[in-house]
Structure 1
Amino acid sequence: MAIMANTIKEIRKNEGKENVLLLDAGDTFGDDQLANITRGAAIIQMMKLLEYDFMALGNHDFDYGRQRTKELQTLAGFAFGGANIIDKETGKTFLDHPFLIKEISGIKLGIIALGYHNSLLTGNKANMQGLNFVPGDKVLKKHLPLLSAKTDIIIILSHQGTAVDRITAKKFDDIDLIIGGHSHDIISGPEKINGTYLVQALSDAAVIGEVKLHLHNHKLQYAHAKSHLLWTDKHQADSKMQSLITSLRKPHLEELEEKITVAKETIGRQYKSESPCEKLIGNLLREHFNAEIAFLPGVGYGISLNGTVTSEDIYRLLPHPSKIVRLNLTGKQIKSILEQTDTNQKPGEKQEVVGGLLQSSGISYMLDYSQPSGNRIGEVKVNGKGLELHKKYKIVTHSGMLNGLHRYDVFQRGKKY
């Protein structure tokens, strides 16, 4: 964040601060131990210092509950939006900021924020109680005509993920730019689809995406984009931001910097394939709880572990509090879980993609995406022996999976041991 602050300062200096908008496509409050300790306040204070203009609400921006999200917006002093996040009780947009209209040098920009339509499948549903997450295209049909009449440029600030953003660009003709999030892609280029420019700036404050809009007669002619990769050995930290970070960390240093272990080799995290980090965690869980199989969700955030590993390093990989669960599941139920992970990745409709590949330990299988859903899993073995459909196996996982995270409802049919 300190390096990001300095990069933003340089861009504002070069372009004129009055000509620059600072936007975020969501998932900002958590995924960090200091954020968890302060229930999002530490990150919001940093964002406030950076003077953000607008932010789309990501699925993990509800990790401390909807009331806390509301409190954090008050603390921030800038708007959080999600035109497709509806309060069931009032029928209105949650926090009442579906879009932002901003005028720069006589040009009116309309920025519509979209949250993740599958948010209820990616976190604790109790934290999002009373909210309805609808597909973005449904609300765009309402908001686009209204904003097009009032503004010169239409921007979508999206936490839908790249695959859905591409569908949106094809479906609607009057969108000038989509600034994406959620799928953690790096798209500078920018990509152009149906006259709409598409960009995304990775995740975890590793990249600042800069987009310049070139206009003539109040109409977009073209967009130029680039990614600023924030390598810590190549950029200076902003002293003011560093001072704030130091003060926020100071009361919690002992907890944050507790040394847990040493990684003699780099332990990385994968998202769409087997993950060394999750394999290690799964092995530890199986050993400690005498289980045959460990299952963990596929997630796409966090750092690689290398050298001394502290408490906050672990929290960056496992930031969402959950409890360990031990279950007996039949071989048939286990095969159904494996079929669910292949469906999650290749469901047919791109809007239905959710989560990464199910992470596992103690089990091996073949996954063939060329086959139709339901027939993609084969050669399943548990600790080297063929899976027996009627046999009960000892499983260790966590409470998120038990609650149906990423559509893994089968865990709810297991018996605790």
Structure 2
Amino acid sequence: MMEVIHFYHTNDLHSQFDKWPRINRFIKNKRTEHERNSEEVFVLDIGDHVDRVHPYTEATFGQSNIQLLNDVQVDMATIGNNEGITMPFEALDQLYKDAKFEVLISNLYYPNKERPKWLKPYTIHETRQGTKIGFIGLTVFFSKFYQELGWHLSEPLEELEKQISEIKGAVDILILLSHLGINEDEEIARRFPDIDIIMGGHTHHILDQGKLVNQTLLACAGKHGNFVGHVEMVWDGYTVTSKKAELYDSNQLPAQKEDDKWVKDWRELGETLLQEEVVQLPNTLKSNWEQETKLSQLLAEGIREWCDAEASILNCGLFLKDLEKGPVTKLDIHQLLPHPINPCTVWIDGQELIEVVKQALEEKWMDWILKGLGFRGKVMGIFLFDGITVQDDSSTRKILLNNEPIDPNRIYKIATIDMFTFGHFFPEIYRAEKKDFDMAHMIRDVMEWKLKRTFS
């Protein structure tokens, strides 16, 4: 007997809630419609629903996002790097305590290699006609960062092979929830023909009608709730006779007049929860991505002190507002530095440090538009230093560290932000063999600490 099975999926919302009321109604209506027609339906989220850029997510450490997933009656979800490595260990370990859905992550463990009780490596669901569907979850292999936070992350494809060997004899259909990115998804489709569908995320790819690799259908719905993904599969009792993917443009979904109020209320609720006073400022601290200010100098100095480094390097585009004279709250600091970016320390030799400073002084950074890598601003802005001075005269440029010439052969301990270790901004930092990441703290935590030390 033919059986039609529907899968609705979201990914990489990043706490961009403006379209969520439409998405919520659409998915609920579709579930009701399919169930009325005796068709199976599953709702899935593929990770990075959480992003601490939103004040309500920040104030609740993502518990607000779990409320939304519960309300839309998500059946299963996996985690992305924003759930996994932008929150302290305890916050992730408690994130899903009120979840009414199954959390699938086969490659996340405690350091003792035991799995947390709140997750499963896979799950099996049996339809009303007796078809058994297996679901496996995987998250991106940022093992060093998870380790810094107190987790153990296993290699995704090795883990997947173990789970498939355990599950494939017990299921008719196999689905992968993959927060690995399009390249990994395509490799999995080539290597693991037992998988029927891969619903993906992480690289924000848009697959309007899916993508068939080998015999596996890949599906993904971009980012920020711009689309809702839908996969329809037909099972004849012995084999999958058809499978097709489509995307629904969230901007085209019906809106209701209360939607804007809901979005506004959620933001205001988060802002209210963050109204804890941190410090009183005697004067306004200005931000400016075109030049150093007292505000940017405070953070540069603070990160150097926080990391116990000899110098620090930052970009002025990190600062998104002024801090006004008078009371400064956690909300003010969150709005100033909303980025999920961490302080880090790198060890590089003097010649490499000189090259980094020279590159940082190039004019190209001033208006360089940057997206991703945790950055939530608009442009990179100029670079600033603490502990490093640059002296220019008509013919020469001297780069000094703590007023001394830099020794090309000595190793220096430099504080900066983790963003510069991911991309190829500075090859010398990217290639540095020794790096330490403070994954438990954001740069806004350092800013708060420095403001208290300076003005309390």
**TM-score of the two chains, using structure 2 as the length reference:** 0.61
Give the conservation status (yes or no) of the 8 Å contact 1:155–1:177: yes
Name the CA distance, whole Å, in 2 between partners of 1:316 and 1:102.
Answer: 46
Query: Aligned AA for 1:12?
Result: R
**Corresponding residue for residue 111 of structure 1:** 135
Match status 1:27 vs 2:34? no
Match status 1:9 vs 2:9? no
Query: Aligned AA for 2:195?
Result: I
Give the conservation status (yes or no) of the 8 Å contact 1:86–1:94: no
Q: Deviations over 1:51-107 (max 9, x none)?
A: 111111111113332332232212112222211112221444674411121122322
Query: Secondary structure at the residue paired with 1:4?
Result: helix
Query: Secondary structure at the residue paired with 1:75?
Result: coil
Query: Secondary structure at the residue paired with 2:125?
Result: strand
In structure 2, relative to structure 1, the CA distance for the partners of 1:13 and 1:171 (3 Å cut) is same
Q: Deviations over 1:349-387 (max 9, x none)?
A: xxxxx9599x85448xxxxxxxxxxxxxxxxxx9x99xx
Query: Aligned AA for 1:173?
Result: P
Name the CA distance, whole Å, in 2 between partners of 1:19 and 1:238.
Answer: 32
**Corresponding residue for residue 135 of structure 1:** 155
Match status 1:75 vs 2:95? no
Query: Aligned AA for 1:20?
Result: V
Q: Quote how far apart the aligned CAs of 1:335 are.
A: 4.7
**Corresponding residue for residue 182 of structure 1:** 202
Q: Deviations over 1:303-358 (max 9, x none)?
A: xxxxxxxx79x859934265699x9995623657999xxxxxxxxxxxxxx9599x
In structure 2, relative to structure 1, the CA distance for the partners of 1:168 and 1:412 (3 Å cut) is closer
In structure 2, relative to structure 1, the CA distance for the partners of 1:335 and 1:190 (3 Å cut) is farther
Q: Quote how far apart the aligned CAs of 1:108 are.
A: 1.3
**Corresponding residue for residue 112 of structure 2:** 89
Q: Deviations over 1:3-33 (max 9, x none)?
A: 1101112322332276211111111222422
Name the CA distance, whole Å, in 2 between partners of 1:336 and 1:6.
Answer: 51
**Corresponding residue for residue 52 of structure 1:** 74
In structure 2, relative to structure 1, the CA distance for the partners of 1:360 and 1:29 (3 Å cut) is closer
Name the CA distance, whole Å, in 2 between partners of 1:338 and 1:187.
Answer: 41
Name the CA distance, whole Å, in 1 between partners of 2:418 and 2:228.
Answer: 32
Name the CA distance, whole Å, in 2 between partners of 1:296 and 1:146.
Answer: 51
Query: Secondary structure at the residue paired with 2:69?
Result: helix
Query: Aligned AA for 1:112?
Result: I
In structure 2, relative to structure 1, the CA distance for the partners of 1:316 and 1:187 (3 Å cut) is farther
Name the CA distance, whole Å, in 2 between partners of 1:182 and 1:119.
Answer: 16
**Corresponding residue for residue 161 of structure 1:** 181
Q: Quote how far apart the aligned CAs of 1:171 are.
A: 1.1
> Structure 1 stretch 21-30 or stretch 243-252: which is displaced more?
243-252
Task: Trace 1:312-351 onto structure 2 (pairs within 5 A).
Answer: 318-320=338-340, 322=342, 332-333=352-353, 335=355
Name the CA distance, whole Å, in 2 between partners of 1:285 and 1:4.
Answer: 43
Query: Aligned AA for 2:138?
Result: L
Structure having the higher Rg: 2
Q: Deviations over 1:283-318 (max 9, x none)?
A: 3667964799745999xxxxxxxxxxxx79x85993
Query: Secondary structure at the residue paired with 2:208?
Result: strand
Query: Aligned AA for 2:187?
Result: I
In structure 2, relative to structure 1, the CA distance for the partners of 1:249 and 1:134 (3 Å cut) is same
| Equivalent in 88, 98, 112 of residue 65 of structure 1 | 88
Q: Deviations over 1:250-279 (max 9, x none)?
A: 54456889xxxxxxxxxxxxxxxxxxxxxx
Give the conservation status (yes or no) of the 8 Å contact 1:184–1:202: yes
Give the conservation status (yes or no) of the 8 Å contact 1:81–1:95: no
CA RMSD after TM alignment:
4.6
Name the CA distance, whole Å, in 2 between partners of 1:297 and 1:113.
Answer: 36
Task: Trace 1:250-399 onto structure 2 (pairs within 5 A).
Answer: 251-253=269-271, 282-283=289-290, 289=296, 294-295=314-315, 318-320=338-340, 322=342, 332-333=352-353, 335=355, 355=373, 360-362=380-382, 391-392=399-400, 399=417
Name the CA distance, whole Å, in 1 between partners of 2:139 and 2:397.
Answer: 40
Q: Deviations over 1:138-177 (max 9, x none)?
A: 0121111222111111111001111111111111111101
Q: Quote how far apart the aligned CAs of 1:211 are.
A: 0.8
In structure 2, relative to structure 1, the CA distance for the partners of 1:287 and 1:132 (3 Å cut) is same
Q: Quote how far apart the aligned CAs of 1:398 are.
A: 5.1
Query: Aligned AA for 1:207?
Result: F
Query: Secondary structure at the residue paired with 2:42?
Result: coil
Unaligned stretches of 5+ residues in structure 2: 1-19, 276-286, 301-311, 319-330, 360-371, 384-389, 403-413, 424-428, 437-456
Give the conservation status (yes or no) of the 8 Å contact 2:107–2:153: yes
Identity %: 20
Give the conservation status (yes or no) of the 8 Å contact 2:75–2:101: yes
Give the conservation status (yes or no) of the 8 Å contact 2:140–2:179: yes
Give the conservation status (yes or no) of the 8 Å contact 2:59–2:274: no
Q: Quote how far apart the aligned CAs of 1:46 are.
A: 1.1
Query: Secondary structure at the residue paired with 1:145?
Result: helix
In structure 2, relative to structure 1, the CA distance for the partners of 1:333 and 1:138 (3 Å cut) is same
**Corresponding residue for residue 235 of structure 1:** 254
Name the CA distance, whole Å, in 1 between partners of 2:341 and 2:205.
Answer: 26
Task: Trace 1:139-218 onto structure 2 (pairs within 5 A).
Answer: 139-218=159-238
> Structure 1 stretch 41-50 or stretch 281-290: which is displaced more?
281-290
Name the CA distance, whole Å, in 1 between partners of 2:264 and 2:355.
Answer: 49
**TM-score of the two chains, using structure 1 as the length reference:** 0.66
